[in-house]
Amino acid sequence: MHQTIIEPFRIKSVEPIRLTTLEQRQELLEAAKLNVFRLRAEDVLIDLLTDSGTGAMSAKQWAAIMQGDESYAGAQSFYRLESVIQRITGYPHLIPTHQGRAAERIFFSVATKPGDIIPNNTHFDTTRANLEFGNVTAVDLVIPEGMEPQTLHPFKGNIDLARVEELLKTEGDRIPFGMITITNNSGGGQPVSMECIRSYSELLKRYGKPFIMDVCRFAENAMFIKLREPGMEDRSIESIVQEMFSYADGCLMSAKKDGMVNIGGFIALPHGVCATRSTYRAAFAAWKSVA
C-alpha cells in the first residue's frame, strides 16, 4: 500500500470560521442549556457532530457538476450513476435520492407497517426517526464490546447474533427484515467483519427474512476488513465490497460519506420496484418470498 507523509492532493477551497474564546463558548453552551443542537453552526469552532457533506470535493467532481445532464428523464448523469452502482453492488435496480434520510423514508414507508420491529447493530439517528415516525420499533443489538470504549476489539460494530436470533424467535412475525449499518455510524464508526455480515445473512435467511444494509461507509468498512480480518489482507477493496453486497437483499446509502460528495443517496435492490404504494407493497412481499 502506498504510504506518504502528506496528503497526495491540494485543497483549493477555503471557508472562514469564527474563532471563539473559552468564555464565549461557555456562555453559548449555557444559553443552549448544553444542547449542541441549539447552537448556531457559526458559533462552533470544531464541529464533531456534522459527519457528512462537509468534505472537499475533487477538481473532477466540481467539473462534473458543470457537465451534468439536468434532463428531467433519461439523463446521462443517471445512467452513469446507475452503471457504477450496479458494478459495485451487483444490484440492477436503483432509486436515486437527495440524501440517505430520503432513501430511508421512501423504503420504510412501503417496507414496514406500524408495530413492526427492525433489528440493527445501531440505528443511525435519521434511521431511527424514520422508523419511529411510522410507529416501528428500532432495536439496537450491537455486541457488548461495542458499548465498552475501554475494550479493544477489531470489529466493535458487529451485531449480536444470539440476541438477534432470540428476537426472531419471540417476535419474528413483527420483523419484516433485518438491517446492519456499515460502518456502525452511531456506534462510533466501528467496522463490521465479513464473518458477521455472512453469518447475519445466513441467520436471517433461516427465518425467511430479507437483509438490508445501510452502506453509508461501505468502502471504509471494506478497508477495515482488509486490515483486520484474517485471510482478507491480500484481497482488493473492490472484491471485499462486492462480497459484502452479495450477502444482502438490498441497501440504503447516504452518498455524502464514503461517496465524498456534498449531497446524494440511493436505494439499490436486486428485484424490481413499482411506482405506487400498493403495487410496491405487493412487489416487496414477493421480494421477501424469494430473498
R_g of the chain computed on alpha carbons: 20
Which phi and psi angles does 25 have, rounded to 5°? -65, -40
Largest separation between any pair of C-alpha atoms in the chain: 61
Low-confidence residues in the chain, pLDDT < 70: 1-2, 53, 272-291
Task: Please give the pLDDT value at position 122.
Answer: 95
Question: Between the CA of residue 40 and those of 18, 22, 31, 35, 291, what are the distances in Å?
Answer: 11, 16, 11, 11, 45
Task: Please give the pLDDT value at position 284.
Answer: 56
Task: Please give the pLDDT value at position 2.
Answer: 60
Count of C-beta atoms within a 10 Å radius of residue 52? 21
Where are the domains positioned within the chain? 9-50, 64-290
Say how far residue 144 (Cα) sits from the centre of its chain.
Answer: 21
CATH number of 64-290: 3.40.640.10
Alpha-carbon distance 88 to 239, whole Å? 9
pTM for the full model? Answer: 0.81
